[in-house]
Chains A and B, each alone.
Chain A
Amino acid sequence: MRALTLHLKILISILVVLGISITAYQIFVIGIPVTEDATDDLWNIDAKVEFVANAKDPVKIQMFVPPLNRDYVSLNESFISNNYGVSVNRVDGNRKVTWSARRVSGKQTLYYRLVLTKRYSGDKTKVKGPVFRDSIAVEGPEKIAAEALLAPIRQHSADVETFIGETIKRVNNLNDDNVKLLLAGDPSTPHKAQVIELLLSIAHVPMERVHTIRLVADQPQNPELWLRSFNGNDWLYFNPETGEQGLPSDRLLWWIGDEPMVTVDGGKKPNVTFSLNNSEMNAIRLAKLTDENTDANFLEYSLYGLPLQTQQTFMIMVMIPIGVLVILVLRNLIGLQTLGTFTPVLIALAFRETQLEFGIILFTVITALGLMLRSYLEHLKLQMLPRLSVVLTFVVILIAAISLFSHKLGLERGLSVALFPMVILTMTIERLSITWEERGGGHAMKVAIGTLFAATLAYLVMSIPELVYFVFTFPAVLLILVGFMLAMGRYRGYRLTELVRFKAFLKADS
C-alpha cells in the first residue's frame, strides 16, 4: 500500500512538474501571452505620394520603404497605384519601391500602405556595420575649425558613444565660433548632420543618417533624422539636435542614407504625407498573422496549428476535463448528489448552445414532461427497451414542438433546443423516474436539482473566456489537472455533506 502511495506521489509529481514546465516554457521562453486580452498594437501607415507628371515623359518615381529587418514585422504591404508598374528592390539595407508609367499627366497620387507590429520573439538577429571610415578631406579654415572643435571633444569623451554625444552637443552650440564657421549660416538639421559627419570622419568614426517615422496616430509628420554609428556590437542612435542617445521605441526606421525619400523622373513637386493609425489585435491571432510573414513558427505545433473549424471543436473539447473536474469536486469534496457521473458535464455542453437561463428552462420543461409521460408508461407495464424508445421519441417530438413554437413566436433562441442531446435527456428522465419510484419524489428532486446545479456550475466554469483561452493555448495544464484528479483518487477526508450527515455524533457529545 505504501509503495502504491509512493508510486502515486511520483506519478502526480511528474505530471504536475511536466505540466508546469511545459506551460512555463510556453509563457516565458516562447513568450505566448497568458491572457487573451494581451493585445498588441497594430500600426497602419499610409504614405501618400503626390507629384505632378510632365506630359509626354515617361514617369519613374522611386521611394524608400521601411526595410523592416529588426524590431518590426510587416503583416501586410500594398502599393496602390492605378496604371503604374511596381517593383521593390533592396539596396544597401534599404528597400526602394519603383513606380513607373509610360504616359501619365497632371497631378498624380500614389499610395503605399504598410501594416506592421512589433516583432514578437525576443531574439534579435545579429547586426553588422562599419567601424572605420576614411576622413573627409577638408582644407583651410574649416580644417582648423574642425580640429579646434575636436580637441576638447577628445578630451571629454571616453569611447565612441561619448565621443559622438559630445560632438553633437558641440555642433549644437551655435554660439561657438568654430561651429558658426562650419555651419556657414545654415543651422538646419541636415546641415548639422553633415557637419557632425565631417567631424566624426576626421576621428575615423563612421556615421549614418537614419530617417525615421514616429508611430503616433493621427498626427501629421515628416521623417525625422537620426544619426547612428556602429560600436562593434550594435547600432547606437543619436538625435542630431540634442545629442540624446537611443532610438525611442516608437520610431520606425524608414530609410538610411543621404538621399531624399522620393525621387521623380519625368515629374515635379513630389510630396509625401504620412498618416498613421493604430488598432489592437489579439496577441495570438497577431502571432499567427505574423507567423505567415516570418520564420518564427512556434505556433506550428500548438492547437493553433489546426484548421479553424477543428480549433473550435478543440476549444470545447479541452474544456471538458475542466467540467469533469468541477463535477469531481462537487461530488467527492462537497458530496453533491447528481444523476450519473458525467451527465452534468454533457448537460453543461448543451448549455453552451442554448445559453444558461434558457437551457435550464428547456431542460426543466422537457424533463418534467418526460417524467409525466414516464409515469403514465409505468402503468402500461412495458419492458425497459420499448419504454426507453417511447420516451426518446417523445423527447424528440417535444424538442421539435418547442422549436416550432418558438420559431413561430419569433424566439430564435428556441431553435437551439435541437442541440440538446436527446439521449442524455432520455436517460435523465429514465433515471430520475426510477429514483423517484425507489427513493421518493423528494430524493428525486434533490438529485435533479443537484444535477442542474452541477451542470450550471460546470457550464459557467467551462465558459470563462480566459480559462478557455488559457487551457487551449497551454494544453499542458491538463496534465496538472490529471495530477489533481489522481490526488483526488486517494482523498479520504470527509465530504462536506457528511459533516452534516454525521451531526448526530456531535449532538450526543454536547
Chain B
Amino acid sequence: MFGFWKTWKALEARGIMGINRRNADYVLKYNKRSLYPIVDDKIITKERAIKAGIHVPEMYGVISTEKEIEKLDEIIGGRSDFVIKPAQGAGGDGILVIADRFEDRFRTVSGKIISHEEIEHQISSILTGLYSLGGHRDRALIEYRVTPDQIFKSISYEGVPDIRIIVLMGYPVMAMLRLPTRQSGGKANLHQGAIGVGVDLATGLTLRGTWLNNIISKHPDTTNAVDGVQLPNWDGFMKLAAGCYELCGLGYIGVDMVLDQDQGPLILELNARPGLNIQIANDCGLTLRTHAVEAHLEELATKGIQETVEERVRFAQELFGHIHQSE
C-alpha cells in the first residue's frame, strides 16, 4: 500500500496524466459532444479538411449501403492499391489495406491474398457497424494508400508509421512517431503492439520509444535505433496539427498524420480521446505541459489576443522543445 502511494506521488510529481484526469479535465472540458461526429466520422473529417485546404489522402469513394457494394469495382477503377476503412472505426480496427493485385485477387499489405468476396464481406461488416463505436451502422471509406517516406524504412516493419501530435486548444503539446511492428500486424496502434517514439517538438528529432509500456531505444524487428532520427518537414507537421483546432473545434485532440513519399504530410484522422502512452514515449508527463498551455491561454484571454497557427507552434516549440535526453 505504501509502495503504491510512493508511486502515486512520484507520478504526480512528474505530471503524468491518468485516464481519469484526461477525461475530467481535458476531454470533457474542451471537447464539446456535438462536435464529436466531426472526428468520429472520418468522412466528415476529410470533407472538412479538404474545405480548409488541409492535405488528406485522396478519397476514392464512399459505400454506405449494401447495394452500393456493387459499385466497388467502379470506385477502385484500375488502381491496384487502396485502403478500405470504416468511417467511424476506432483503434484502427476493420481497416483493410490492399497493396497489390494478384490475378483476380488482391494482396493485402501483409502479403495475404484475398478474394473479391472477402473484400465485399469486410465492407458488409463495416456497414453493419461491427467496427464502429457503439455498433451503429457505418459507412465504408475507400481512399488513397499512403506510401510511407523512405526515412521510415529502417525503423518500421510493414504498415505505415504515423505521427501523432496532441493538440490542446490549437497548441501542440506532445508528439510521437508510431511505428508498426510484426506484433501489431502493420498497424500503428500502441495497444496492438506498435512502438511509440517521442519526438522533440522543436526539431523533429526522435527520442526514445515505448513498446508495451516499456521504454526502449531499438526497433524490436529491425533492431535499428529509433532515436535520433530527423523527421523531414517537421514544421509542416506542427502547423498541420495546430490548424486542426480550427478544423474541428475540439480543444483536446490527437492528430494522426502520415508522411507520404509523394504528397508529404497528410492528415489521417483526429482522435477526441487520445491515449496516454505518448507520455512514456516522450518520458514526460502531459499535465505539466497542458497546464503551461492553459496558463498561457488565460494570460492571452486577459489581453484579448488570439494567436495564429504560426504563433502557437512557435510557443509550443520554445516551451516544450529542445529536450536533452538523459541516458
Contact A495 B18 (CB under 8 A): yes
With most chain B CB atoms within 10 A of its CB, the pick from A1, A489, A504 is: A504
Q: B279 an interface residue at 8 Å Cβ cutoff?
A: yes
In angstroms, how far is the closest chain A Cβ from the Cβ of B327?
10
Contact with B along A485-510 (1 / 0, CB 8 A): 00001111111101101111111110
Contact A505 B20 (CB under 8 A): no
A438 to B193, CA, bound (A): 12
Binds B, one of A74-82, A316-324, A377-385: A377-385
Q: A332 an interface residue at 8 Å Cβ cutoff?
A: yes
Count of interface residues, chain A, beta-carbon cutoff 8 Å? 29
A456 to B215, CA, bound (A): 36
Q: A335 an interface residue at 8 Å Cβ cutoff?
A: yes
Chain B hits for A492, CB < 8 A: 18, 20-21, 23-25
Known A381-B121, A494-B11, A499-B11; judge A332-B128 contact (CB<8 A).
no
Chain B hits for A501, CB < 8 A: 213
In angstroms, how far is the closest chain A Cβ from the Cβ of B195?
13
Chain B hits for A508, CB < 8 A: 215, 283, 326
Q: Which residue of B lies closest to A427 (CB)?
A: B135
A335 to B18, CA, bound (A): 10
In angstroms, how far is the closest chain B Cβ from the Cβ of A204?
76
Known A492-B20, A502-B279, A504-B210; judge A383-B14 contact (CB<8 A).
no
A1 to B279, CA, bound (A): 26
Q: A434 an interface residue at 8 Å Cβ cutoff?
A: yes
Q: A439 an interface residue at 8 Å Cβ cutoff?
A: yes
Contact with B along A460-503 (1 / 0, CB 8 A): 00000000000000000000000000000111111110110111
Contacting A at CB under 8 A, from B1-33, are 4, 7-8, 10-12, 14, 16, 18-21, 23-25, 29
Chain A hits for B191, CB < 8 A: 439
In angstroms, how far is the closest chain B Cβ from the Cβ of A331?
10
Chain A hits for B326, CB < 8 A: 508
Contact B8 A499 (CB under 8 A): yes
Known A381-B118, A504-B280; judge A498-B213 contact (CB<8 A).
no
Contact with A along B160-201 (1 / 0, CB 8 A): 000000000000000000000000000000011000000000
Known A490-B24, A494-B8; judge A502-B91 contact (CB<8 A).
no
Known A384-B125, A384-B129, A434-B130; judge A506-B18 contact (CB<8 A).
no
Q: How large is the interface on B (under 10, 10 to 19, 20 to 34, 35 or more residues)?
A: 35 or more
Can you sample 13 A-B contacts with CB below 8 Å?
A: A381-B121, A383-B128, A385-B128, A434-B130, A491-B24, A492-B18, A493-B20, A494-B16, A502-B16, A502-B213, A505-B14, A507-B215, A508-B326
Chain B hits for A502, CB < 8 A: 11, 16, 213, 279-280
Chain A hits for B21, CB < 8 A: 492-494
A490 to B25, CA, bound (A): 8
Q: B214 an interface residue at 8 Å Cβ cutoff?
A: yes
Contact A509 B18 (CB under 8 A): no
Q: Which residue of B lies closest to A509 (CB)?
A: B10
Chain B hits for A439, CB < 8 A: 191-192
Known A502-B279, A505-B280; judge A494-B18 contact (CB<8 A).
yes
Chain B hits for A504, CB < 8 A: 210, 213-215, 280
A508 to B325, CA, bound (A): 11
Chain A hits for B271, CB < 8 A: none
A182 to B100, CA, bound (A): 129
Contact B124 A383 (CB under 8 A): yes
Contact B4 A499 (CB under 8 A): yes
A498 to B10, CA, bound (A): 12
Q: Which residue of B lies closest to A386 (CB)?
A: B128
Q: B149 an interface residue at 8 Å Cβ cutoff?
A: no
Q: B93 an interface residue at 8 Å Cβ cutoff?
A: yes
Contact B24 A506 (CB under 8 A): no
Known A381-B118, A502-B280, A506-B7; judge A495-B14 contact (CB<8 A).
no
Contact with A along B114-144 (1 / 0, CB 8 A): 0001100100110011100000000000000
3 tightest A-B CB contacts, nearest first: A492-B21, A384-B128, A494-B18
Contact with A along B200-241 (1 / 0, CB 8 A): 000000000010011100000000000000000000000000
